Amino acid sequence: MAELLVRNVDKVNPDSEASNRMCFKRGDVITVQENGWPWSPAELAGDPWTIIRFVNGTVPAAEEYLLSKYGPDDEIVLPRDAYFDLDAALPQTQFLGGDAQMLAYKVVKP
């Protein structure tokens, strides 16, 4: 199993449109680690990141979400080729009892 650190809010660079486009946005995966990774208190706080457990997935499989999006001239046009739609939990959401729940998120490729 893998855990993914995902950007919870857009990071912006108001000084440059090109630089702003390369900033991580909401739903972008920042890093992938093995299950049980010792996340920092800031990472666990939930803002500006959230941690998604990649159930039944391996670290190598989850690392696919770290790939950049390339343009026709092989230049990077977005820092990630896919992102998690954090606003749209899919119907496969399972409530595990109490407040614990497992959410299934839609992966979007822009």
pLDDT, one tens digit per residue, over 32-91 is: 999 889 999 999 888 899 888 887 788 998 898 899 999 999 999 989 998 888 887 655
Phi/psi at 80 (5° precision): -135, 145
12-33 residue pLDDT tens = 998 988 888 899 999 999 999 9
pTM: 0.79
**Domain spans in the chain, listed from the N-terminal domain onward:** 2-108
Tokens 């000084």 locate to 15
